[in-house]
Amino acid sequence: MDATSTLDDEPETAASGVPEGEPRGNRPVRVTGSVSRRMLLVATAWILLLLVGGGYALDRVLTSAITRNFDDQLDYLVSSMIVSAELGSNGEVVLNRELADQRFLEPNSGAYWQISGQGFEPFYSRSLWDRRLKVDQVHSDREIHFYDSNQFPDQKLRIAERDLKLPGSPVRWRFQVAESRDMLDAQIATVRRTLVRSFALLGLGLVAMAALQTWYGLRPLRKVRREIARLRAGQTQRVGGPMPAEVGPMVDELNALVEHNDRQAEEARRHAGNLAHALKTPLSVIMNAAAAGQEDLPDTVIREARTMRRQIDHHLARARAVGRRGSAHSRAEVWPSIEAVERAVARLYPNVRIDVDGVKDAVAHIERQDLDEILGNLVENAAKYGGGSVFVTARLDSGFVEILVEDDGMGIPEADRIRIFDRGVRLDTGKPGTGLGMAIVRDVAEIYGGTVSLEESEDLGGLLVRLRLPAAG
- Contact between 425 and 354 under an 8 Å Cβ cutoff? The reply is no
The predicted pLDDT at position 13 comes to: 42
| Domain identity same for 421 and 407 | yes
Q: Assess whether 342 and 410 both reside in one domain.
A: yes
List pLDDT tens digits, range 321-356.
665 554 456 788 999 999 999 999 999 899 999 999
pLDDT in tens, 177-186: 999 999 999 9
Query: Residue 203's closest CA among 31, 364, 50?
Result: 50
Tell me what pLDDT residue 3 has.
40
**pTM of this prediction?**
0.53
Query: Is residue 356 one of the residues assigned to a domain?
Result: yes
Residue 277 has pLDDT above 70, yes or no: no
Domain count, the chain: 3
Domain that holds residue 126: 1-13+28-217
417 or 237, which is more confident? Answer: 237
Domain edge (last residue) among 279, 304, 324: 324
| % of the chain beyond a pLDDT of 90 | 34
Per-residue model confidence (pLDDT) at position 292: 77
Asked whether the predicted pLDDT for residue 419 surpasses 70, the reply is no
Q: What are phi and psi for residue 9, nearest 5 degrees? A: -95, 20
**Is residue 232 included in any domain, yes or no?**
no
Domain of 346: which CATH number? 3.30.565.10
Residue ending a domain, among 324, 358, 390, is 324
Domain ends where: 304, 324, 344?
324
Q: Which of 51-60, 75-84, 394-403, 440-449 is predicted least confidently?
A: 440-449
Statement to judge: residues 153 and 6 lie in one domain: yes
Question: Is pLDDT at 312 greater than 70 in this prediction?
Answer: yes
SS3 call for 408: coil
The verdict on residue 63 lying in a domain is: yes
In a domain, 464, yes or no: yes
343 and 288, same structural domain?
no
Is pLDDT above 50 for 79? yes
Comparing 437 with 403, the larger pLDDT belongs to: 403
Average pLDDT of the residues in 317-321:
63
Region 360-386: mean pLDDT is 89
pLDDT tens sequence across 159-183:
999 998 888 888 889 999 999 999 9
**Residues 147 and 258 grouped into a single domain:** no
Give the chain's mean pLDDT.
82
pLDDT at 271: 67
Instruction: Tell me the pLDDT band of 229, cut-offs 50, 70 and 90.
Output: confident
Residue 142, pLDDT score: 83
Whether residues 363 and 436 fall in one domain: yes
- Mean pLDDT highest for which of 34-48, 256-270, 291-305? 34-48
Q: Is residue 396 assigned to a domain?
A: yes
75 and 213 belong to one structural domain: yes
Same domain assignment for residues 275 and 320: yes
Structure confidence at residue 432 (pLDDT): 43
Contact 8, 35 (CB under 8 A): yes
Question: Is 322 in contact with 270 (CB distance < 8 Å)?
Answer: no
Higher pLDDT, 76 or 295: 76
Report residue 158 CA to chain centroid gap.
Answer: 59
CA nearest 382: which of 415, 357, 402, 412? 412
Task: Let me know whether 309 and 340 are in one domain.
Answer: no
Are residue 158 and residue 179 in the same domain, yes or no? Answer: yes
For residues 61 and 202, state if they share a domain: yes
Residues in the chain: 473
42 and 163 belong to one structural domain: yes
